[in-house]
Structure 1
Amino acid sequence: MPSTPRDTPRRDSPRRYAVKLEDYRFTFDAGAYHYEVTNPLVLHPDYDTLLLAYRRPLQGGPRRQVELKRVNMLPGRDARASAREEVRLAALLNHPKISRVHDFIVHKGIPYVVMEHMKGCFLLSVMHAAALVETRLSPAFAVYVAAEVADALEYAHNCETEEGTPLRLVHRAVGPLRIRLGADGRVKLCNFGAAYSELAGRMATPRDLLRGDPAYIAPELLRSMFAANESNADPLTPRELDGRADIFSLGLILLEMLTAKYPLDPLGLVPSRPATRFPPGLRTERPTWISLEFLANRVLSFGPEEIESETELVPEGLRAILRKALQPNPANRYSTAAEMRDDLRFYLRASGASGFGRLELEEERKAILNEATERKLLAAQTIERGVLPTPEELLDNGQTY
Structure 2
Amino acid sequence: MTTMKVLAERYEVGELLGYGGMAEVRLARDTRLDRDVAVKILRSDLARDQTFQARFRREGQSAAALNHPAIVAVYDTGTDPSTTPPTPFIVMEYVEGQTLRDLLRSKGRLEPHEAMRIVAEMCAALDFSHRGGIVHRDVKPGNVMITPAGRVKVMDFGIARAVSDTQATMTATAAVIGTAQYLSPEQARGEPVDARSDVYAAGCVLYELLTGSPPFVGDSPVAVAYQHVRENPVPPSQVRPEISRELDAITMKALSKNPANRYQSAAAMQDDLERAIRGEKIAATPVMTEDERTALISTTPPVPPEGDDDFEGAEPPKKSVRTRTWVLLGVLLVAAIVAAFLIIPNLGDDEPAPVSVPSVAGLSEEEATTALESAGLKVGDVTETVSTIDQQGRIVGQNPSSGSSVDRGSTVDLEIGSGPAQRTIPGDIVGKTQQEVQAALEADGLIVTAIQQDAAQAAGTVVNSSPAPGTAVPEGSTVTIFVSSGQVDLPDVTGMDEQTAISTLNQAGFTNVSTASAPSSQPVGTVVAQDPQAAKAATSTTVTLTLSSGAPNVVGLSEADARTELQKAGFSNVTTVTQETTGAPPGAVVAQDPAPGALPAAGAGVTITVAVAPTPTPTPTPTPTPSPSPSSPAPPSSASPTS
Q: Deviations over 1:133-172 (max 9, x none)?
A: xxx311111111000000111111111xxxxxxx3x2110
Provide, for residues 252-281 of structure 1, a one-character-per-residue CA deviation record: whole Å limited to 9, x for no partner.
Answer: 101101111222122xxxxxxxxxxxxxxx
Query: 2:115·2:206 contact (CA, 8 Å) conserved in 1?
Result: yes
Q: Deviations over 1:260-315 (max 9, x none)?
A: 1222122xxxxxxxxxxxxxxxxxxxxxxx43321221221232656674565522
Conserved 8 A contact 2:146-2:153: yes
- Residue 282 (structure 2) pairs with residue 350 (structure 1): no
Cα contact 1:37–1:52 (8 A) shared by 2: yes
**Distance in 2 between residues matched to 1:128 and 1:337, nearest whole Å:** 26
Does the 8 Å contact 1:82/1:203 carry over to 2?
no
| Aligned with residue 110 of structure 1, among 87, 90, 95 | 87
**Among the aligned pairs, what percent are the same residue?**
31
For each residue in 1:365-401, what CA deviation from the matched residue of structure 2 results, as whole angstroms up to 9, or x when unmatched?
Answer: xxxxxxxxxxxxxxxxxxxxxxxxxxxxxxxxxxxxx
2:15 is aligned with 1:39: yes
Q: Does structure 1 retain, via aligned residues, the 8 Å contact 2:199–2:266? A: yes
Q: What amino acid is the match of 1:70?
A: I
1:342 alignment partner AA: D
Matched, 1:126 2:103: yes
Task: Determine whether 1:219 maps to 2:185.
Answer: yes
Pair 158,194 (structure 1): closer, same or farther in 2 beyond 3 Å: same
1:75 deviates by 8.9
Give deviations 1:332-356, integer Å, cap 9, x for gaps.
00011111101111111118xxxxx
Q: Deviations over 1:153-206 (max 9, x none)?
A: 1111111xxxxxxx3x21100011111111222211111110131356966236
**Distance of aligned partners of 1:315 and 1:307 in 2 relative to their CA distance in 1, 3 Å threshold:** closer
Letter in 2 for 1:105: G
**Is residue 207–residue 236 contact of structure 2 (8 Å, CA) maintained in 1?**
no
Could you state the TM-score of these two structures normalised by the residue count of structure 1?
0.62
The C-alpha deviation readout for 1:202-223, integer Å capped at 9, x for no partner, is 6623637422222211001122
User: CA 1:344/1:47 → structure 2, altered by over 3 Å: closer, same or farther?
Assistant: farther
Q: How many residues align?
A: 273
Query: Where does residue 35 of structure 2 map in the other structure?
Result: 64
Distance across 2 between alignment mates of 1:260 and 1:115? 30
Distance 1:105 1:141 in 2: 38
Conserved 8 A contact 2:246-2:276: yes
Q: Return the offset for 1:66.
A: 1.3
Equivalent position SS for 1:143: helix
Partner of 1:397 in structure 2? none
1:95-174 equivalences in 2 (<5 Å): 95-107=68-80, 108=83, 109-131=86-108, 136-159=109-132, 167=133, 169-174=134-139
Q: Is the 8 A contact 1:26 1:37 kept in 2?
A: no
Match of 1:253 among 185, 205, 215: 205
Higher helix share: 1
Higher relative contact order (CA 8 A, sep 6+): 1
Query: Hey, what's the Cα distance between the residues in 1 that align with 2:3 and 2:177?
Result: 31
Unpaired segments of 5 or more residues in structure 1?
A: 1-21, 160-166, 226-234, 267-289, 352-401
Moved over 4 A (4+): 74-77, 199-203, 304-313
Give 1:385-396 correspondences, 5 Å limit: none
CA distance in 2, matches of 1:211, 1:349: 36
Note the C-alpha offset of 1:88: 1.7
Q: 1:307 to 1:129 in 2, by over 3 A?
A: closer
Query: Alignment partner for residue 265 of structure 1, among 213, 217, 224?
Result: 217
Q: Residue 295 of structure 1 aligns with which residue?
A: 224
Q: Which amino acid aligns with 2:77?
A: F
TM-score w.r.t. length of structure 2: 0.40
Higher strand fraction (1 or 2): 2
Find the residue that maps to 2:162 and give its secondary structure. Answer: coil
Q: How does 1:356-395 map to 2 (within 5 A)?
A: none
Any gaps of 5 or more consecutive residues in structure 2? 281-643
8 A Cα contact 2:181 2:225, kept in partner = no
Q: 1:122 to 1:26 in 2, by over 3 A?
A: farther
Q: Aligned letter for 1:34?
A: R
- Residues 81, 27 of structure 1: CA spacing in aligned structure 2 closer, same or farther, 3 A cutoff? farther
Bigger Rg, which one: 2
In 2, distance between residues paired with 1:313 and 1:248? Answer: 23
- RMSD of aligned Cα (Å): 2.7
Matched, 1:52 2:18: no
Which residue identity lines up with residue 216 of structure 2 in the other structure?
L
Structure 2 equivalent of residue 372 of structure 1:
none
